[in-house]
Structure 1
């Protein structure tokens, strides 16, 4: 009989077409071609080997790409150490978060309590802002006194304003630390003055600095102010890199006898931001010199790219029994990679998606995974999600697809 033969031939042709569609759908679209990068290299002669990072004279150090979170180099990066006044970066983060939630306002009048003045004022050995005891100042001014002048008095006054007490504020700091994935960090105060169990790591602090720049750029911008005046006292920012390097826009120094000299620095060149942290250095000059060397090395030999943006199709996949025959797959958040300069074109995207997809699918539903590798190492991995919903097809189309799927399984 001719009809079954025609049906079989038609089915085989359809299945062949579908098989080709399935085979091609397993490969994601190529990574986008990079644009010109500051400090780039001529790749015609091949990729430039990355020399070892300069090693700071410090107990722990790290240099990290802020966008991707890629650690470029470091030593003792997860060893808990006293963070000294770098602690105030988390104080700034909590203040910015509370402001964003509408719980406080930049124009709030913050009182310099006697407790804050005695624990962090001019009569102590630490840095202070100089606000008068039992007097009030706008929150934003008090915060600049804390950030620029590293005022311990201002930090305590702000903590009391936000949470009622410095102890309660420290609990907020630890909640945010946990949310940000700072796994080896615990705060007991808002200042960084020595305290039992008040510890962080170079890696955690780098993540914190990147988070402040990303989440609260206005609060972060205070760290670039070179000097600040309270009353008749003008004090300079202790981060000397602000004067040395125009690309440096933060972020915080620190020093206690227990912590040594510490510096979290950050710079942005082009679209790339790096964060460096040096803990337990031997002097102000040493921490600045080492931080500058780490930033220069990182920018010279690494570049960061956004490969895939949310809402953009990474690949399309054949769908069975759906009202639509194809499903566009993408990512829910940007896929970022940091690679040695000159090696971008060697990135290999790999997509892991089931070979058979059967409707229905909801928008945003995870369907597979996309991984980006270099030399066999996974640099980025994210879920692939459906960019739109695909509802079930009508009865006859579902029956026809059932026949084709059965035929394909023979």
Structure 2
């Protein structure tokens, strides 16, 4: 009595967030001088551009995003508070590279240490926080590696809290983008620290090293990095008209190239792509025939808002097809999967999304079923 039915349905347009799998958009005509790069639309987890995104690389100070993830996680779980103070060890005080200029044996508020890490890229502040969280930087690294696995950072090895050069301290651009997305979505109440432009501590005022914050492109984070081996890198994020992009670039030759290339890629992502809402949760997509039901059809919908990010030029050629095994046998409970939407677009992989019943449909009683069966025998399944 059932047969696969395919119907093409019209898509609606707008811009909302949803979707769970990372989807590659069509390869577009752009390249970068960065050695490693990835650009992602966060709302749909769609990769807009990538280059050597799974190549393990020294992340330099960009790995401080992991240190901050650990700190924010501890605060959210009540293990630490912004007004707590942490002691400065001699190891932290002697740490070289970019510094917050902590004072030996002083106790510093967590709130100030966070700004010292994010704004001033303070290696010394990172060690104070790591020791405060785990007792030692080595123990902190063990905890950070466990958290990395939990977050799905499959190609990352954390050795320290600062990004200080170490042959075993490696991440990928893809892992950094995943980490950045998780920090933004898991800790929205603390993400504002990444847009602070300057911070003064110990009488020394330092500006945020993220060049995107000083350009009018909607940037509100995150972290730069540089070592001789890695070159110049940046993990950045910008939001515009409800769309958030996350960018990771590394291996650039100088600070100017880092600033210009990062801004160029983000502008390109906003200009060339858009996120379209195909259906909102609860929207009736189609009426699907029901077998032996109290109603002849059941409305079908998607459980969550269904969005698709694609190049603007590809939007007219996108197709959405509803595939069901109809008629669907009653009884049917609201929320029961009854088919799928198949979404195709030029240069993009085919995407399949389940559709569910938008209402309950009870089963006919004995006499109703008998009449329906007789009608089926006489008129066939098309009745």
TM-score by length of 2: 0.84
Which stretch shows the higher mean deviation, 210-219 or 78-87?
210-219
Match of 1:266 in 2: 237
| Alpha-carbon distance between aligned partners in 2 of 1:360 and 1:195, rounded to the nearest angstrom | 62
Deviations 1:333-364 (A, max 9, x none): 33222221243233211222222322344444
Match of 2:100 in 1: 129
Shift of 1:237: 0.7
Shift of 1:274: 1.8
| Alpha-carbon distance between aligned partners in 1 of 2:124 and 2:372, rounded to the nearest angstrom | 72
Q: CA RMSD, aligned part only?
A: 3.1
| Alpha-carbon distance between aligned partners in 2 of 1:263 and 1:33, rounded to the nearest angstrom | 33
Judging changes above 3 Å, is the alpha-carbon distance between structure 1 residues 63 and 392 closer, same or farther for their aligned structure 2 residues?
A: same
Shift of 1:374: 1.0
Judging changes above 3 Å, is the alpha-carbon distance between structure 1 residues 74 and 376 closer, same or farther for their aligned structure 2 residues?
A: closer
1:64 pairs with 2:40: yes
| Alpha-carbon distance between aligned partners in 2 of 1:378 and 1:393, rounded to the nearest angstrom | 41
| Alpha-carbon distance between aligned partners in 1 of 2:110 and 2:131, rounded to the nearest angstrom | 12
CA contact (8 A) 1:306 1:334 kept: yes
Report 1:5-154 matches (<5 A).
26-27=6-7, 29-34=9-14, 52-56=29-33, 58-100=34-76, 102-114=77-89, 117-118=90-91, 120-121=92-93, 123-154=94-125
Judging changes above 3 Å, is the alpha-carbon distance between structure 1 residues 243 and 318 closer, same or farther for their aligned structure 2 residues?
A: same
CA contact (8 A) 1:50 1:340 kept: no
Judging changes above 3 Å, is the alpha-carbon distance between structure 1 residues 179 and 403 closer, same or farther for their aligned structure 2 residues?
A: farther
Match of 2:20 in 1: none
Match of 2:216 in 1: 245
| Alpha-carbon distance between aligned partners in 2 of 1:323 and 1:388, rounded to the nearest angstrom | 12
Match of 1:227 in 2: 198
| Alpha-carbon distance between aligned partners in 2 of 1:165 and 1:363, rounded to the nearest angstrom | 53
Match of 2:19 in 1: none
| Alpha-carbon distance between aligned partners in 2 of 1:60 and 1:310, rounded to the nearest angstrom | 37
| Alpha-carbon distance between aligned partners in 1 of 2:320 and 2:340, rounded to the nearest angstrom | 10
SS in 1 for 2:259: helix
Shift of 1:50: 9.0
Judging changes above 3 Å, is the alpha-carbon distance between structure 1 residues 395 and 177 closer, same or farther for their aligned structure 2 residues?
A: farther
SS in 1 for 2:291: coil
CA contact (8 A) 1:337 1:379 kept: no
Shift of 1:79: 0.7
| Alpha-carbon distance between aligned partners in 2 of 1:400 and 1:156, rounded to the nearest angstrom | 78
Match of 1:385 in 2: 356
Higher normalized helix content (fraction of residues): 1
Match of 2:315 in 1: 344
Shift of 1:176: 4.0
| Alpha-carbon distance between aligned partners in 2 of 1:105 and 1:97, rounded to the nearest angstrom | 9
CA contact (8 A) 2:217 2:263 kept: no
CA contact (8 A) 2:96 2:124 kept: no
| Alpha-carbon distance between aligned partners in 1 of 2:219 and 2:99, rounded to the nearest angstrom | 24
Judging changes above 3 Å, is the alpha-carbon distance between structure 1 residues 363 and 225 closer, same or farther for their aligned structure 2 residues?
A: same
For structure 2, list consecutive stretches of 5 or more residues without a partner in the other structure: 16-25
Which stretch shows the higher mean deviation, 395-404 or 219-228?
395-404
CA contact (8 A) 2:117 2:123 kept: yes
Judging changes above 3 Å, is the alpha-carbon distance between structure 1 residues 196 and 323 closer, same or farther for their aligned structure 2 residues?
A: farther
SS in 2 for 1:378: coil
CA contact (8 A) 1:66 1:207 kept: no
Match of 2:280 in 1: 309
Judging changes above 3 Å, is the alpha-carbon distance between structure 1 residues 166 and 353 closer, same or farther for their aligned structure 2 residues?
A: farther
Judging changes above 3 Å, is the alpha-carbon distance between structure 1 residues 409 and 315 closer, same or farther for their aligned structure 2 residues?
A: closer
CA contact (8 A) 1:163 1:169 kept: yes
| Alpha-carbon distance between aligned partners in 2 of 1:221 and 1:249, rounded to the nearest angstrom | 8
2:290 corresponds to which of 303, 311, 319: 319
| Alpha-carbon distance between aligned partners in 2 of 1:389 and 1:133, rounded to the nearest angstrom | 68
